[in-house]
Amino acid sequence: MKLLTLNFLTCAIKTCKTSEASFPLHPRDAELEIVETDLNLPFLKNILPRLMWEEIRTIASELGLPDLPTTAPTREDLVENNAEVQASLQNQTAESAEPAVEEIPSQTAKDLHRILLETCIKDGKLVCGNCAHEYKVMEGVANFLLPGHLV
């Protein structure tokens, strides 16, 4: 499972949902794997405001990944912003309405892509910070089915 999914997952137990401690789930004994994929800039831009930045930083540090900046990047931070690109963009708007040069993802975008969409939890556990219930991850698929006494 890609780390981005942890941005949306909390404890499945209903009584935990109201507690702030149930989000994010904490990876434990996690075996990580890097699966390289193409960088999807429109997706990163779209998803950026929906990221719970503090929580993602927590997860990244718990997994021993490189530190993320303290404040969340903005959409502008995701594209290369050098003078050359700016100039060519301006030229284009003068000539035609449709941009011919693609936006270039910045290092920030690449780092974010690496952590959220290329880093996967292959095996391990996800633990609720509130009730300490453990959800197993096997072959990259997390299991959130609750045992009989917790439903």
Residues that bind another protein (CB under 8 A): 1-2, 4-5, 7-14, 17, 23, 25, 37-38, 40, 42-43, 45-47, 50, 117, 120, 135, 138-149, 151
Q: Which is nearer to another protein, 67 or 95 (CB)?
A: 95
User: Angle at the Cα of 9 (from 16 to 133), degrees rounded to 5?
Assistant: 45
Nearest distance, CB of residue 136 and another protein, angstroms: 9
Nearest distance, CB of residue 66 and another protein, angstroms: 22
Nearest distance, CB of residue 24 and another protein, angstroms: 9
Contact 125, 30 (CB under 8 A): yes
Q: How far apart are alpha carbons 150 and 15 in whole angstroms?
A: 10
